[in-house]
Structure 1
Amino acid sequence: MLKWKKWMSLSMAGVVAVSLLAGCGPQRDGGTTAKEGGKEEKPKQLVIWENKDANHLKHTRKMAKEYEKKTGIQVKVIDVDILKQQEKLTLDGPNGKGPDVVTWPHDRIGEAVIKGLIQPIEVEEEVTDQYNESTIQAMQYDGQLYGLPRNTESIALLYNKALMKQPPKTFEELIDFAKKNTDPAKKKYGLLFEGENFYYDYFVLDAFGGYVFKELDGKLDPADIGLNNSGAKRGLQMIGSWYEDKLLPPGLKDDTVNGLFKEGKVAAVINGPWAVKDYRDAGIDVGVAPIPKLNGKDPRTFIGVKGLYISAYSKNKYWATDFLQFLTGKEALQDRFKTTGEIPSRKDLLEAPIVKDDPLVAGFAGQAAQGTPMPNIPEMGQVWDPIANAITFVAKGKQKPEQALDDAVKQIEEQIKTQKQ
């Protein structure tokens, strides 16, 4: 399973002790579109499906009670696995048993829209301006807004403070460090990551001008693939050089990366928040920082965003939209951060002491803030394996980057064509 999928079910709750926030009930912070006596009759009840996670449920149930106090609308919270909600909604929605509000990772939005499971939402610009731009972008499909973001996650640079006092400012400096601190015979490395996984490599191709699908006016064009343009090929050439210089061993998987890092044999790794608790439990003094500048740019890693959406079968769109804004308001997401440790999507919270003053959280948050959402159109499913195979061919010296990427994109195009038939 690709590492980016891990964020769907894991939080940083066990990673970082977040005790800076005193519990407090949420207050609406600007931009709401729903008012008493609005366009739609107030329902007696709203139903939300929340992920089957103890901390997630604890937070949402608390917010449900606060919302009832504010509006008089009861909120029923039902636990449904975050990756099974679409399947369940397909069955329950038409039978009138479905919820008003659902939640899942943003890369599943395109599939949900095509299946007719969720509906576009309408909020004021002052509402969307409250969130990090990349997270709002993640909530859009085909130029329309389908949800509001709650939390975000990205990979970053994790380093052993005993082996690396301060992270380098540029990736070029990081590679120089790796060359001076790598001895494969002793299984000692300056830098390791799962280099044949496109999720981890995307920022390299992006830094030189590669892209997955061309974006225009908020829409992704699956007919315009930029994974074999000159920039992408230059990026893969760089990745290939790390294998040629023995900085990365071919076939490297995350279990090996994690094992060597916990043994104190690796100075730095590129990984996500899901790895931190394991590292700290092994006695490693871990630091987290955004990935150093590459080609003079802040690396744009793939980010994943958990969003809230309104079921297409809900008869309470007006108040469900109001509830979405309530759950993604400043006070609500402060409480969620305290309860779950998930990095909030709001600009004001990313700049707040509760996030900025915690170096581990701030490192991931800083990288996520400059990241780019994984494409959320169904065609993205045809990209992962061909590009991963291309990287592997280069890592093992079986193909040159140019040929490997040309072949991969040809395969992606053929698979997308078959998918649409």
Structure 2
Amino acid sequence: MSYPRRKFLQTGGALAGITLAGCISVNDDDKDASGEETSNGDGDGGDGNGGNDQTNGGTAQLWHSRPKGPKKSLEANVTAFHEKTGDSIQLSEISDLQKTIENKLPAGKGPHMFQWAHDWVGEYQLAGFLSDQSDKLSVDPESTYTSAAARAVQFNGETLGLPYAAETVALLYNKDMVDEPPETVSEMQSIMDEHHDPANGKYGLSYPIDPYFISGYAQSFGGFYYDEEKDELGLTKPETLKGFRFVRDELAKYSPKDQKYDPQAAVFNEGNAPFAINGPWYLGTVRDAGLDVGVAPLPKPKGGEPKPYTGVKMWYFVKKMNEGGKNATAGRKFAEWHTTNTDLLLGLAEDHGFIPVHKDLAGSDDLPAAVKGFSESVTMGEPMPTAPHMNKVWDPVKNAFLKVLKGKQDAKPAFEEAETTIKQNWE
């Protein structure tokens, strides 16, 4: 159901977690193999009136699939929250979160919340997996978070979670090879030409070729993949075809022939390319490799503006929240605290490259330089559609573009076929 790119977007940085007072204590004793609690129901003891309810002492269940560094930070956050409020969060690390959610929630089992990017919102709301907490929140999304983040956690007029970070691709550059980041693709190409030498394992650009990573340039001339408001595909519009051809003709030729993520990432990570187009989850990897890396917004093509897809990391409110009580209140309070505590959010930015979506921090000079570069790219971007139809768009776009890239088809017939396939899959 969800495009495989999500695996990259959830890897996070391989850096140490933030340090907060108190030891990490997460009780995993009462869970089954899925990580779900086998006892301790939601309880009553509370009226479920959200952030205005001063009832504490509840325990909310939270599922996640974070890697080591961000997981350590989350555990520290949970400890700090408990010390501050008396409420507890029971964490469960789920290896295949999507599969577990789709197996457990229809059977009436599951947590109060889980953490993932926003592109499941539409499908899971329509499936009845989620809980609208609009009338129970103390936080007003529109006045607290960026407009894109506030929109991302809502669907069909319901607030289905709270956002704490964004993610998108930007330009990473090796400071040992590049003095100043280019502002235009033309400037970027002049630098890539100096370094591109495939015969000796040197390339101008590290660029995983899939619909998410190329979206910034594919949509840079006014085109689009899918308009969820109109429920309309835009793959065969002249503006979108121009974008696909631009990626093929002006950028992909500077990258290795193996378009998959790992080979592309390795080229930059090993110091064999001056540039990479990648996301904040990649920062830990390049820093561990000892590279001095800068981050800048995607350079502009002539006559266009990059428009990369952006994602929003969020705490999803699951239908178990509808039961109310102390435990549901604890979950809601944690989500509000975690997404509005600016010291916590700055720590996540510094340690893991998380891009804040709180209005007081987005684009702020307080952010680490690399994260600020990503934050500027987020401002240029377009939030990924949450409508379920978008899930059927990714694979046909990837298949069509690879045909175009390898010279097997021109862009127009390739994407005409892609649109036909997508519409058939919608039916």
Q: CA deviation at 1:65?
A: 5.3
Report the counterpart of residue 163 of structure 2 in structure 1: 149
Question: What is the letter of the counterpart of residue 141 of structure 1?
Answer: F
Per the TM alignment, residue 248 of structure 1 is displaced from its structure 2 partner at its CA by 4.0
Question: Equivalent residue for 1:29?
Answer: none
**Alignment correspondent of 1:160:** 174
Residue by residue, what CA displacement relative to the aligned partner does 1:197-256 show, whole Å, maximum 9, x if unpaired?
A: 11111111211122122243xxxx43x111111110111121232379x43454433333
**Amino acid aligned to 1:77:** Q
Q: Paired residue for 2:112, among 100, 118, 125?
A: 100
Measure the CA separation in 2 of the matches of 1:188 and 1:316.
58
After TM superposition, the structure 1 stretch with the greater mean CA deviation from structure 2, 360-369 or 46-55, is 46-55
Deviation string 1:239-278 (CA, Å, 9 cap, x unpaired) is: 232379x434544333332333244331111112333333
Matched residue, 2:377: 367
Letter in 2 for 1:293: K
State the secondary structure of the residue aligned to 2:414. helix
Indicate conservation of the 8 Å contact 2:256/2:264, yes or no.
no
CA distance, structure 2, for counterparts of residue 213 and residue 390 of structure 1? 15
Residues in 1 aligned to 2:20 and 2:365: alpha-carbon distance in whole angstroms: 13
| Matched residue, 1:305 | 312
Q: CA separation in 2, counterparts of 1:70 and 1:265?
A: 48
Q: Deviations over 1:90-122 (max 9, x none)?
A: 536855x64333222211222321221111221
Count residues in correspondence: 391
Q: Secondary structure at the match of 2:52?
A: coil
How far 1:328 sits from its partner (Å)?
0.9
Summarize deviations over 1:309-366 as a string: whole Å, max 9, x none.
22212222883444422221134434544665533221212344441xx222222222
Q: Distance in 1 between matches of 2:277 and 2:264?
A: 9
Q: Which residue of 2 aligns with 1:410?
A: 420
CA gap of 1:69–1:202, structure 2 versus 1, over 3 A, is: same
| Alpha-carbon distance change, 164 to 57 in structure 1, aligned in 2, over 3 angstroms | closer
Q: Mean Cα displacement is larger for which, 149-158 or 270-279?
A: 270-279
Alpha carbons of 1:70 and 1:89: their partners in 2 closer, same or farther (altered >3 Å)? farther
Query: For residues 6-405 of structure 1, what are the structure 2 equivalents within 5 Å?
Result: 6-8=8-10, 10-14=11-15, 34-36=51-53, 42=55, 44-53=57-66, 55-56=69-70, 58-64=72-78, 67=81, 74-81=87-94, 83-84=96-97, 87-88=100-101, 91=104, 98-122=110-134, 123=137, 126-195=140-209, 197-216=210-229, 221-222=230-231, 224-242=232-250, 246-248=253-255, 250-295=257-302, 298-314=305-321, 315-316=323-324, 319=329, 320-331=331-342, 332-337=344-349, 340-355=352-367, 358-405=368-415
Q: Deviations over 1:171-201 (max 9, x none)?
A: 2322343345433333433223123x11111
Whole-angstrom distance in 1 between the partners of 2:303 and 2:158: 33
| Alpha-carbon distance in structure 2 between the residues aligned to 1:403 and 1:261 | 34
Counterpart-to-counterpart distance in 2, 1:180 and 1:62: 46
Question: Structure 1 CA distance, aligned partners of 2:107 and 2:200?
Answer: 61
For 1:168, what is the secondary structure of its paired residue? coil
Q: Which structure has more strand as a fraction of its residues?
A: 1
Report SS of the residue matched to 2:122.
Answer: helix
Unaligned runs of 5+ in 1: 25-31
- Mapped partners of 2:72, 2:263: distance in 1: 35
Secondary structure (helix, strand or coil) at the match of 1:109 reads helix
SS in 1 for 2:271: coil
Q: Which residue of 1 aligns with 2:29?
A: none
C-alpha distance 125-328 of structure 1, shift in aligned 2 (>3 A): closer
TM-score, normalised with respect to structure 2 = 0.79
2:336 partner letter: Q
**Distance in 1 (alpha carbons) for counterparts of 2:73 and 2:292:** 30
In 2: Cα distance, 1:210 partner to 1:187 partner: 34
- What do residues 27-48 of structure 1 show as CA deviations (whole Å, max 9, x unaligned)? xxxxx973247xxxx4641413
TM-aligned CA distance change 1:386 to 1:329, over 3 Å: same
TM-score normalised by the chain length of structure 1? 0.80
Structure 2 residue matching 1:110: 3-state secondary structure: helix
Superposed displacement of residue 125, structure 1:
8.1
Distance 1:243 1:296 in 2: 16
